[in-house]
Amino acid sequence: MHHFDYRQDRLYAEDIDISALAEKVGTPFYVYSEATLRRHIKVFSTAFADTDALVAYSVKANPNLAVLRILASEGAGADVVSAGELTRALHAGIAPEKIVFSGVGKTTEEMEAALNAEIYQFNVESAPELEALNNIAGDLDKIAPVAIRVNPDVAAGGHDKISTGRKEDKFGVPWTNARALYARAREMQNIRIKGVDLHIGSQIADLAPFETAFEKAAGLIKDLREDGCTIERLDLGGGLGIPYGAGTIPPHPNDYAELIKRVTAPLDVQLIFEPGRMIAGNAGLLVTKLVYVKEGEARKFLIVDAAMNDLIRPALYDAHHDIIPVKRDMDAVNARYDVVGPVCESSDYIAKARNLPEMAPGEYMAIMSAGAYGASQSSQYNTRPLIPEVLVNGDKHAIIRRRPTFDEMTALEHYPDWID
Ligand code: LLP
């Protein structure tokens, strides 16, 4: 559930009229609802309130500092995948003892930063990474708390490009090598084994793949304990899907929680979760303006001022985002359109063959469910400035990322000043 609704046919973000906001801020821009962010993290945490659980929000979904600070105030931890995300999480006030570090390619500098910050857990994804972490921790005279991310070889996820738990994916340690790697880890002086980690994919719309993978992980924990390993934690990653307005409706967090409690109850472990999309996805939308209506030979196009550099999900994953007018006209006639941006690529589209009410240039539209992997995956392609992010709280709003000037966009570039 979110807080974007029509009032007398005008779309509101909480108590803010989006048309008025668009006039003030200028399109395109993202708008996030604080009440929705708080609601989502509470729904997720409450589902596990009767267990020992750490909810480590996956920063990559929406890393804006203001968003992180809201989630920190609700007690969330963070799942980070780079030194940059680690710095953001700490900056926003997330305690290091609630931060887990995932990712297949952690560099020496990143491991040093995380060890110095004394984070809760490294999710290690390969034998060479484990070796490196042991050496770096040794040099710093630290002990690295580790979970090994295992690859359960389970197919899951809303699209091929967001599936991570199959054996052909780059993620995790092959299932068949896991026990041997744990045995090696136990001998390493500066590694302390804490748990098992897995993350099988994103936008997962049914419980079956979770159940298969989590049962496998439970079996592994039993085997590891027989081998003499102390396993105190089980990190189940993120991946729970959200409704995008088309396709299947994913399970409610309560059903996901029930399954997990059933599978993990006998294990006596602390559970760690890394939800991203579920928290931020439906807490944000992208407001765009219709620039031209173009009648092509084969199709009709709505050319809008948002583009693939602002929201790349349709181009990259054929993702569906609902599009609705900011001012609704119940009598408007519908037609079938491709909604496209101004970027010079055929893949620059927001929607294809979508039934939408006829609109006039200058009117605003909202691209829904854009709070996760929207702004965080945006770029300045075509030298289009990163777009503002606006946070709404009741009848107040705040610009939490402003539009850069041309000078700011090019500030890191220089005409050559040759050095010999
Ligand atoms: N933990 C790990 C280790 C991950 O790799 C991810 C997402 C998450 C947690 C959070 O997953 P979530 O709960 O958000 O599904 N850009 C794509 C999604 C990529 C997900 C990458 N990893 C998209 O826009 O659909």
134-164, pLDDT tens digit by residue? 999 999 999 999 999 999 989 887 677 777 7
206, 252, 257, 255: which is closest to 236 by C-alpha? 257
Task: Report which protein residue has its CA nearest ligand 1's atom 9.
Answer: 238
User: Beta-strand (E) ranges in 296-374?
Assistant: 300-304, 323-325, 334-340, 349-357, 364-367
337-380, pLDDT tens digit by residue? 999 999 999 999 999 999 999 999 999 999 999 999 999 999 99
Rounded Cα gap, residues 25 and 3, in angstroms: 20
49-108, pLDDT tens digit by residue? 999 999 999 999 999 999 999 999 999 999 999 999 999 999 999 999 999 999 999 999
Domain range summary for the chain, segments of one domain joined by +: 4-32+281-410, 103-273
- Identify whether 229 is a catalytic site residue: no
- Alpha-carbon separation of residue 353 from 66, 201, 320, 336, 418 (angstroms): 36, 28, 11, 5, 52
In sequence order, the β-bridge partners of residue 6 are 11
181-238, pLDDT tens digit by residue? 999 999 999 999 999 999 999 999 999 999 999 999 999 999 999 999 999 999 999 9
- 103-273 fold: TIM Barrel (3.20.20)
Rounded Cα gap, residues 301 and 303, in angstroms: 6
On the question of pLDDT at 112 being above 90, the answer is yes
Mean pLDDT of the residues in the chain: 96
Task: Name residues contacting ligand 1 (CB within 6 A).
Answer: 58, 61, 79, 102, 162, 199, 202-203, 237-240, 274-278, 313, 317, 373, 377
Tell me if 348 sits within 8 A of 308, measured CB to CB.
yes
The CATH code of domain 4-32+281-410 reads 2.40.37.10
Find the length of the chain. 420
- Whether the model pTM is above 0.80: yes
- Residue 108 C-alpha to ligand 1 middle, in angstroms? 24
Hey, which of 55, 60, 240, 377 would you mutate to test ligand 1's pocket, going by the most ligand atoms within 8 Å of its Cβ? 60
Phi, psi (rounded to 5 degrees) for 178: -60, -50
Rounded Cα gap, residues 218 and 189, in angstroms: 26
Range from 37-46, 125-134, 160-169 carrying the lowest mean pLDDT: 160-169
On the question of pLDDT at 387 being above 90, the answer is yes
User: Where do the H-state alpha helices sit in 250-368?
Assistant: 253-264, 277-280, 313-317
